[in-house]
Amino acid sequence: MSNSEQDVFSPVGVWQSSITFPNGSVQRSLVQYSQDGNVTEASTRFASRLTGLGLWRRTGDRTFEGFFEKFLFEVGEEAPKVWVRVAYNVTMNETGDAYEGEAKGIFMSMDRKVTSSVPTKVKAERLGWSV
């Protein structure tokens, strides 16, 4: 793979993401991938006060994996009750402007003991200058 092909298939940049849960509900997020392997995520679904922070890495020519973690708050509560990790493996399309794959939401107590997990599907499109 040439350097220009690696750039096309790099997730570095900002993406609009949709995560579909088994019950059909959808969470929309904005996800930013940095060159240094960091991920920042902001979503619309959960009652959270912080963005998700995590890491990503390339696993093949057009594939990568990543995760982010965030705290979830109950309405009116000052301290978080739940810690969630979203882990995913995705494949870029042939033009490098979209990806899709499998994800899992792993819910943990504040002492990081897993309490439940939910399998999901993820799709995303790269944000560009046009609307």
Q: Residue 4: what pLDDT?
A: 52
What pLDDT is stored for residue 78 in this prediction?
79
Strand partners, 64: 58, 90
| CA proximity to 11, closest of 46, 79, 57 | 57
Average pLDDT of the residues in 20-41: 94
Predicted confidence (pLDDT) at residue 10 exceeds the cutoff of 60 = yes
pLDDT band at 15 (very low <50, low <70, confident <90, very high): very high
Indicate the domain borders of the chain.
Answer: 3-126
- pLDDT of 81: 83
Q: 123 - beta bridge partners?
A: 18, 100
What region does 13 belong to: left with phi over 0, alpha with psi -120 to 50, or beta? left
Residue 48's pLDDT is 55
Q: What mean pLDDT comes out for the span 75-89?
A: 87
The CATH number of 3-126 is 2.40.128
| Of 81 and 85, more confident | 85
**Do 42 and 30 touch, CB atoms closer than 8 A?**
yes
Residue 39 contacts residue 68 (beta carbons within 8 Å): yes
The predicted-structure confidence for 66-79, as pLDDT tens digits, reads as follows 999 998 877 777 78
Question: Alpha-carbon dihedral of residues 104, 86, 20, 32, nearest 10 degrees?
Answer: -140
* Residues near 90 by beta carbon (within 8 Å), at least 6 away in sequence: 63, 64, 65, 66, 99, 100, 101, 102, 122, 124
At 46 the pLDDT is: 58
